[in-house]
Amino acid sequence: MFTLRMIFVLCLWSVNEASFESGNSNKYWKSQGSRSLRVCQTVAKRSLKANINPIETITLSYIETRHNDKLKGSAGELGPIQALPKYWKRKGDKDSLTAGLRAWKYYTHKYKTLEEQAGYYNGSGPKGRYAKKYRKHYDYLNKLFRVLRFPL
pLDDT in tens, 16-48: 888 887 777 888 888 888 899 999 999 999 999
Question: What is the DSSP secondary-structure string of 43-100?
Answer: HHHHHHHTT--HHHHHHHHHHHHSS-TT-B-TT--BTTTTB-HHHH--TT-SSHHHHH
Q: What total number of domains does the chain contain?
A: 1
Q: What mean pLDDT do residues 136-148 have?
A: 93
pTM (2 d.p.): 0.92
Q: Which domain holds residue 145?
A: 4-149
Of 132, 149, 137, the C-alpha closest to 3 is 149
Pair 13, 141: CB distance under 8 Å: yes
Q: What is the CATH number of the domain that holds 36?
A: 1.10.530
pLDDT of residue 152: 42
Residues 100-110 pLDDT 10s: 999 999 999 99
Residue 120 pLDDT > 70: yes
